[in-house]
A and B are shown apart, each in its own frame.
Chain A
Amino acid sequence: AQKVTQAQTEISVVEKEDVTLDCVYETRDTTYYLFWYKQPPSGELVFLIRRNSFDEQNEISGRYSWNFQKSTSSFNFTITASQVVDSAVYFCALRHSGAGSYQLTFGKGTKLSVIP
């Protein structure tokens, strides 16, 4: 069975602080995909990043960076110099890599509030 745990239910930071959102996953598969989605107050789900299990390179996109560590089954997300527009619920998700296994298993989400 697959499982995604986002232990931080809510985080509050002051603008310009760095913040890391944790994601720990469980799977028996050797190959899989990990995702992060953002859900701002307006409600839509916005795709941020996809990571393949065979690619452990960390990735940086502007103020966003992701740290994938297979050894600890973690895929953490860091926002550097946070801004008010980063306030949202962030979801980590997991998917099998095999054909016919397209279901995303989502974590419960972490609500990030960035205070001006």
Chain B
Amino acid sequence: DAGVIQSPRHEVTEMGQEVTLRCKPISGHDYLFWYRQTMMRGLELLIYFNNNVPIDDSGMPEDRFSAKMPNASFSTLKIQPSEPRDSAVYFCASSFMGTRQIEQYFGPGTRLTVT
């Protein structure tokens, strides 16, 4: 079975531009998580969804960040407008909480650079 898929793998954009990161979770998983990784702050949870519904977005840094999950196989994280401090690696992860197999499986990440 395919793992979590993220696109693009690398994104370079100029300050002020809109950035959209995409994620396809593992088929059958009912939870989807967006994380951000930086040297200063490590791995931070931004938001997570259960059955396509946002459950906890308390980690979203500002109103410039938004996330959607229109269906079970697709989610987006959008930054508008982007700023240099948004430069980080963004990970998407999914898991299935319906059984005792609760671990989160991570995608390869999107490395975002805002100049």
A residues lining the B interface (CB < 8 Å)? 33, 35, 37, 42-47, 50, 91, 95, 100, 102-104, 106-109
CB pair A33 B42 closer than 8 Å: no
Q: Which residues of B contact A (CB under 8 A)?
A: 31, 33, 42-43, 45, 48, 55-56, 89, 91, 93, 95, 97, 102-109, 111
Q: Report yes or no: B103 in contact with A44, Cβ–Cβ below 8 A.
A: no
| Minimum Cβ distance to chain B for residue A47 (Å) | 5
Taking a contact as CB atoms under 8 Å apart, the answer to whether A106 and B108 are in contact is: no
Identify the closest chain B residue to A42 (Cβ). Answer: B108
Question: A37's closest neighbor in chain B, by CB?
Answer: B106
Q: Is the CB of A44 within 8 A of B102?
A: no
Quick check: B45 and A103 within 8 Å, CB to CB? yes
A43–B108 CB distance below 8 A: yes
A43-B108, A47-B105 given; name 7 further pairs at CB < 8 Å.
A35-B103, A44-B107, A100-B55, A102-B55, A102-B97, A104-B43, A104-B45
Secondary structure at the B interface, as helix, strand, loop or mixed, is: strand
A50 touches B102 (CB 8 A): yes
Task: Please pick, from A37, A91, A103, A107, the residue contacting B56 in the complex, using a CB distance under 8 A.
Answer: A103
In the complex, the answer to whether B111 meets A50 with C-beta atoms within 8 Å is: no
**Are B109 and A44 in contact, CB atoms less than 8 angstroms apart?**
yes
B55 touches A103 (CB 8 A): no
Q: How far is the CB of B96 from chain A (nearest CB, A)?
A: 12
A52 nearest CB neighbor, chain B only: B100
- In contact, B103 and A47 (Cβ under 8 angstroms): yes
Q: Are B109 and A104 in contact (CB under 8 A)?
A: no
Q: Is the CB of A104 within 8 A of B104?
A: yes
